[in-house]
Amino acid sequence: MIQRNATRAVRIGRVIIGDHHPIAVQSMCATPTTDVDATLAQLRLLEQAGADIVRIAADNRKDAQALIRIRGESNAVLSVDLQENYRLAEVIAPHVDKIRYNPGHLYHHERKKPWKDKVAFLVDIAGENDCAIRVGVNAGSVDPEKFSPGEDENSVAPMVESALEHSDLLDSLGFSRYCVSLKDSDPQKTVAAYTAFADVRPEIPLHVGVTEAGMPPMGIEKTRIAFEQLIGNGIGDTVRVSLTLPNDRKHEEIIAGRQILTDISAGRVRTVVHFNPDRLNLISCPSCSRVENEAFIDLAHKVQERTRWAEEHALTIAVMGCRVNGPGETDDADLGLWCGPNYVNLKCRGEKLGAFRYDEILDRLDTELARLVENT
């Protein structure tokens, strides 16, 4: 059996995480939230695969109204991802079981309003509507105020600082029904962030995942590496495997998550679990409703095939379809493809190289990758 940290219990609808309850497995709908029929269909597939909690994004009033309709036709345990608009919680909270907010996104809306006031608003809404909260810190969108001049923005320290700061505020407001996540696309940084947080606040339940893990099988392996090191050391009360998959395969995230947990529980783990830093690293975000063109998914798989020749080179390529985390994740990569509705924005180590059509980006990627390989 997995020996786990003695975190406090947090109820999310009919699911309880922490306090040695079974580790919950969750996923996120990738369909546009406003496409109610498609989202319901995907929600049911996720439930059939064994999802304990399903997250759905809401970015505007239309999304919120669609989510209310979805709740009317499903009794799934639902978490809402508030994106940049924290005030939508007031509309959605009566219809969901958990509110997830990203500390780095609070400044996008009502910029002159102090972030602590915004969190207090969310706490009031959650308390009035029997909702849990997740503080979802993400490496691609950390609060910029957490970075000191000249500081390495790849550091996990700003993530941990943000998570601790928000936890302290929630505690001071008398709200304890929350969990925290600190996700990075690098499994080792993910492990470092969660470990550092758990050392300070071991009682807080943690939602564990590697963000933008990419495509199978590499995305599953990155996640497995992080889970083995974290869950194997008692850290983690609920998990998600974030994979780049077409909509009809999204439930594979649940299958992968349960298999990894089963293997860890049975002791089927690697002797050496470090992700290989000396090989080509492909990052791609999980398909979700923030993706503005589903061609991104097909492109990510084509990039995987077209770059196999460079597997022995320690370079990172990020293929991002998310308008929220895409800019930040592609800035950190050697080559970053940030996929918009009609064009793919190509960057080389944070420098913009231009916007290319989906049918021309691969040739330019080949050219830039060859140049980097030659110069390394």
Q: Per-domain residue ranges for the chain?
A: 10-265, 281-374
Q: For residue 287, which of 320, 261, 315, 258 has the smallest C-alpha distance? A: 320
CATH 3.40.1280.10 fits 10-265, yes or no: no
Judge whether 24 and 77 are in contact, CB under 8 Å. Answer: no
Q: Is the dihedral of CA 62, 63, 66, 68 positive or negative?
A: negative
Judge whether 288 and 247 are in contact, CB under 8 Å. Answer: no
Q: Phi/psi class of residue 174: alpha, beta or left (left: φ > 0; alpha: ψ in -120 to 50)?
A: left
Q: Is 57 exposed, middle or buried (0-12, 13-18, 19+ CB in 10 A)?
A: buried
**Residue 338 tokens, joined:** 């940030």
Q: What are phi and psi of 24, to 5 degrees?
A: -80, 145
Beta bridge partners of 24: 238
DSSP 28-87: E--S-TT-HHHHHHHHHHHHHTT-SEEEEE--SHHHHHHHHHHHHT--S-EEEE-TT-GG
Domain 281-374, CATH class in plain words:
alpha beta
Beta bridge partners of 132: 98
DSSP 223-283: HHHHHHHHHTTT--SEE---B---GGGTTHHHHHHHHHHHHHHTT---SS----TTS-EEE
SS (H, E, C) 79-140: EEECCCCHHHHHHHHHHCCEEEECHHHHHHCCCCCCHHHHHHHHHHHHHHCCCEEEEEEEHH
Q: How far is CA 347 from CA 133, 200, 273, 321, in A?
A: 35, 37, 31, 14
What is the mean pLDDT for each group of 10 consecutive residues in the chain (376 residues)? 88 97 96 96 97 96 97 97 91 98 89 94 98 94 70 76 97 98 93 97 98 90 92 95 93 96 80 60 72 78 93 90 69 88 91 94 96 91
Predicted local confidence at residue 289, as pLDDT = 60
How far is Cα 39 from Cα 42, in angstroms, rounded to an integer? 5
How far is Cα 368 from Cα 326, in angstroms, rounded to an integer? 19
